[in-house]
């Protein structure tokens, strides 16, 4: 049976616990350094606490150490890896082969490894990776090809922000700002505004987020991914807040539960516990730039964010009038974009200014289709408004936290002088316990039987008890306090026994074989990784991992194509024009690799 894992981001301990409570089977979190999100680091002690909490449900914690590493940092990283392992982490997510070699716990090849074809997948399997995190821009058929070529676990992103470039091979941030994405310092140049011009100086588009993609959402494609060989479904967002993570995890956890229910002989969840109650999730109500399934079906669509690279939110309508309301406030009336628009005080709104910038503001008082807010430059009649924060939904998430419990089924047998309980936790752990009864026989056996059943079938801590069978060969008279004490005693005994976690994939070191030269795209920056690749047969190793100042150097390669997005595909209309992106005086040539249907951005 294949265990399916929902993998959630955790910016910090609190968010990690919320993800577990909402149904995540695993979370990934960064330690203090060497993570691909520099601003998402955490103390090792917090990672230890998160591991302890997650392991109560058989859930796992993966820690990112997925930047490239310099020679003078190797020993520091080695020390960090040892601390993470001692904290109880279940695996490391790693980009640099040198760090992979340091670990004594399972290693997952990060999406920064840019695994998008079977040959590269086999290499990372051969150097001991237990799991491969696949490139986001793969189709189902390409995922199947990687699955057929490897035997380790496969992980795929299913929700969240998309890098326009193939992962790990974007050097645009380094080129423009000197901040390396492979060192956790991405400046998100893909979210900037650009002009699109041709070689004759014509401006085809002005001040648009031409490299900014919509967010990924594959909520209704989990079955397709599982059939293709994916076992871990990853949500992006180590910089996202608690409500975003809770909402998204709850939505995908419910979808995975439905998939397991359809195929109970084929799939199960990778952790234990049942989530009940809480809010009703809705991924459209938390941060997003619009949604796309990207290249999953092997087809291109409209992937670019339309007006802005930021999350605009739900379209609510157009400002029909605006007038002063005193104390620096204005009263805004809108014409709704559709039926059912209901605004609430505290909602957040956004709009695009005339120069393409996104502005936001808070509605202090909202009634019907009227908003009272502080005056904002650029806001006026005719402006389209979006709601980027639904205050009522945010309050619902905060006020209605789901409850995650482990189920315990019980077979109970009674005699006049005792109660014997055989309790089985959902991971298969069994306890048989006999409780002496020093009272007298129950006068009303039927009523006493019902009281015993109802009092035992309650919660104790994270355990939810349920009496499956009750066999009475005489039944003692028991007070409710006595019965509750039995349940608590069983709970304490179970709490002292760790869960029997489902098996986690383990890597096997094989015989690495590389026939192609190692270039800057392999992001090698230390002597240990260089030597590893040489031993694997690489004919040459270029350790210059970042390309800057070299004319024609490829800064990114992507399946996203500006020409296709704008209806200018060269296959349909070979106009022969050269196209460029302009940003703050910098001119970046675009190239179109039509045989592979890919676009590149290069250094001028």
**Is the CB of residue 326 less than 8 Å from the CB of residue 348?**
no
Mean pLDDT of 563-586: 89
pLDDT value of residue 247: 97
pLDDT value of residue 446: 92
- Compute the distance between CA of residue 46 and CA of residue 31 in angstroms, rounded to an integer: 9
Mean pLDDT of 237-262: 96
Mean pLDDT of 427-437: 95
Percent of the chain with pLDDT over 70: 99
DSSP 444: S
**Out of 35-39, 109-113, 135-139, 277-281, least confident range:** 35-39
* Residue 110 DSSP SS3: coil
Classify 519 in phi/psi space as left (phi over 0), alpha (psi -120 to 50) or beta: beta
Q: How confident is the model at residue 112 (pLDDT cuts 50, 70, 90)?
A: very high
For residue 93, list its beta bridge partners. Answer: 64, 108
Q: How confident is the model at residue 549 (pLDDT cuts 50, 70, 90)?
A: low
- Compute the distance between CA of residue 65 and CA of residue 40 in angstroms, rounded to an integer: 12
pLDDT value of residue 368: 87
- Compute the distance between CA of residue 266 and CA of residue 252 in angstroms, rounded to an integer: 19
Nearest to 135 by CA among 167, 105, 106: 167
**Out of 157-161, 182-186, 225-229, least confident range:** 182-186
For residue 130, give every residue at least 6 positions away whose Cβ sits within 8 Å of its Cβ, in sequence order, or none: 91, 106, 107, 108, 152, 153, 504, 505, 506, 507
Q: Which residue has the higher pLDDT, 143 or 284?
A: 143
- Residue 544: pLDDT over 70: no
* Residue 422 DSSP SS3: strand
- Compute the distance between CA of residue 440 and CA of residue 471 in angstroms, rounded to an integer: 18
Structure-derived torsion over alpha carbons of residues 202, 208, 212, 217, reported in degrees to the nearest 10: -120
Mean pLDDT of 412-430: 96
Question: Which contiguous run of DSSP H or E holds residue 27?
Answer: strand 26-30
Strand order in the sheet with 586-593: 203-208, 194-198, 579-583, 586-593, 598-602, 554-558
- For 254-275, give the DSSP string: HHHHHHHHH-TTTEEESS--EE
pLDDT value of residue 269: 97
* Residue 191 DSSP SS3: helix
* Residue 219 DSSP SS3: coil
pLDDT value of residue 40: 73
Q: Which of 72-81, 319-328, 514-523, 562-571 has the highest mean pLDDT?
A: 72-81
Query: What is the maximum span of the chain, computed from C-alpha positions, in angstroms?
Result: 100
Give the angle 317-318-322 at the CA atoms, nearest 5°: 125
pLDDT value of residue 548: 65
Q: How confident is the model at residue 576 (pLDDT cuts 50, 70, 90)?
A: confident
Q: Which residue has the higher pLDDT, 549 or 358?
A: 358
Report the mean per-residue pLDDT for the chain: 92
- Residue 267: pLDDT over 70: yes
pLDDT value of residue 63: 97
**Out of 8-17, 262-271, 351-360, least confident range:** 351-360
- Compute the distance between CA of residue 502 and CA of residue 426 in angstroms, rounded to an integer: 12
- Residue 205: pLDDT over 80: yes
**Is the CB of residue 133 less than 8 Å from the CB of residue 111?**
yes
Q: Which residues of 81-116 are buried (b: 16+ CB within 10 A; e: fewer)?
A: bebbbebbbbbbbbbbbbbbbbbebbbbbbbbbbbb
- Residue 278: pLDDT over 80: yes
pLDDT value of residue 571: 85
What φ, ψ does residue 189 adopt, rounded to 5°?
Answer: -60, -25
Within its chain, how far is the Cα of 29 from the centroid?
Answer: 11
Give the angle 388-163-550 at the CA atoms, nearest 5°: 135
pLDDT value of residue 127: 92
pLDDT per residue as tens digits for the range 336-387: 988 888 899 999 999 988 777 788 899 999 988 999 999 888 889 999 999 9
- pTM exceeding 0.75: yes
Mean pLDDT of 543-561: 81
- Residue 536: pLDDT over 80: yes
- Residue 305: pLDDT over 90: no
- Residue 229: pLDDT over 90: yes
pLDDT value of residue 508: 78
- Residue 547: pLDDT over 70: no
Q: How far apart are the first and last CA of the chain?
A: 53
Half-sphere exposure of 415 (CA within 13 A, CB side): 7
pLDDT per residue as tens digits for the range 445-470: 999 999 999 999 999 999 999 999 99
- Residue 62: pLDDT over 70: yes
pLDDT value of residue 572: 82
pLDDT value of residue 545: 64
- Compute the distance between CA of residue 395 and CA of residue 105 in angstroms, rounded to an integer: 40
- Compute the distance between CA of residue 385 and CA of residue 390 in angstroms, rounded to an integer: 13
Q: How confident is the model at residue 543 (pLDDT cuts 50, 70, 90)?
A: low
Question: What percentage of the chain's residues is helix, strand, coil (to nearest 5)?
Answer: 25, 30, 45
Mean pLDDT of 94-119: 95
């Amino acid at each position: 049976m294949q265990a399916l894992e929902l993998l959630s981001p955790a910016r910090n301990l609190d968010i990690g616990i919320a993800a577990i409570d909402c149904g995540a089977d695993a979370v990934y979190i960064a330690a203090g350094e060497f993570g691909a999100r520099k601003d998402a680091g955490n103390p090792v002690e917090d990672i230890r606490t998160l591991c302890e909490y997650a392991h109560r449900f058989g859930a796992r914690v993966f820690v990112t150490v997925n930047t490239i590493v310099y020679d003078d940092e190797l020993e520091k990283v080695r020390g960090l890896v040892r601390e993470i392992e001692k904290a109880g982490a279940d695996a490391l997510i790693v980009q640099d082969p040198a760090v992979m070699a340091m670990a004594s716990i399972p290693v997952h090849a990060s999406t920064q490894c840019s695994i998008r074809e079977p040959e590269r997948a086999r290499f990372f399997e051969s150097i001991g990776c237990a799991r491969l995190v696949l490139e986001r821009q793969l189709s189902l058929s390409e995922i199947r090809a990687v699955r057929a070529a490897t035997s380790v676990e496969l992980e795929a992103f299913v929700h969240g922000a998309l890098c326009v470039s193939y992962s790990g091979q974007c050097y645009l941030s380094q080129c423009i700002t000197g901040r390396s994405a492979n060192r956790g310092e991405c400046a998100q140049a893909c979210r900037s505004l650009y002009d699109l011009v041709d070689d004759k100086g014509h401006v085809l588009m002005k001040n648009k987020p031409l490299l900014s993609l919509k967010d990924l959402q594959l909520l209704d494609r989990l079955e397709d991914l599982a059939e293709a060989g994916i076992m871990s479904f990853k949500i992006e967002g180590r910089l996202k807040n608690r409500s975003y993570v809770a909402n998204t995890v709850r939505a995908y956890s419910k979808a995975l539960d439905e998939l397991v229910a359809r195929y109970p002989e084929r799939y199960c969840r990778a952790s234990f516990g049942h989530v009940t109650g809480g809010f009703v999730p809705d991924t459209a109500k938390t941060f997003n730039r619009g949604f796309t399934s990207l290249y999953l079906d092997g087809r291109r669509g409209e992937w670019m964010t339309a007006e802005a690279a930021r999350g605009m939110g739900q379209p609510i309508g157009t400002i029909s009038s605006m007038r002063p309301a005193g104390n620096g406030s204005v009263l805004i009336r809108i014409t709704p974009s559709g039926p059912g628009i209901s605004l609430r005080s505290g909602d957040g709104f956004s709009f695009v200014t005339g120069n393409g910038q996104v502005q936001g503001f808070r509605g202090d008082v909202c009634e019907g289709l009227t908003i009272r807010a502080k005056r904002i430059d650029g806001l006026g009649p005719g402006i389209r408004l979006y709601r980027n924060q639904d205050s009522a939904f945010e309050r619902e998430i905060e006020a209605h936290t789901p409850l995650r419990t482990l189920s315990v089924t019980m077979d109970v047998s009674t005699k006049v002088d005792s109660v014997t309980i055989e309790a089985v936790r959902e991971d298969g752990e069994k306890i048989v316990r006999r409780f002496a009864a020093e009272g007298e026989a129950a006068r009303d056996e039927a009523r006493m039987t019902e009281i015993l059943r109802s009092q035992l079938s309650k919660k104790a801590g994270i355990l939810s008890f349920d009496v499956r069978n009750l066999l009475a060969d005489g039944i003692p008279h028991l007070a409710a306090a006595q019965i509750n004490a039995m349940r608590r005693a069983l709970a304490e005994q179970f709490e002292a026994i760790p869960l029997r976690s489902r098996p986690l994939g383990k890597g096997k070191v094989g015989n690495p074989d590389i026939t192609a030269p190692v270039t800057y795209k392999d992001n090698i920056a230390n002597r240990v990784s260089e030597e590893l690749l040489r031993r694997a047969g690489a004919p040459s190793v270029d350790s210059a991992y970042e390309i800057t100042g070299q004319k024609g150097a490829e800064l990114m390669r992507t399946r996203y194509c500006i020409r296709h997005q704008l209806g200018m595909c060269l296959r349909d209309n070979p106009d022969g024009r050269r196209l460029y992106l302009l940003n703050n005086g910098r001119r970046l040539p675009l190239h179109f690799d039509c045989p592979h249907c890919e676009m590149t951005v290069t250094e001028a």
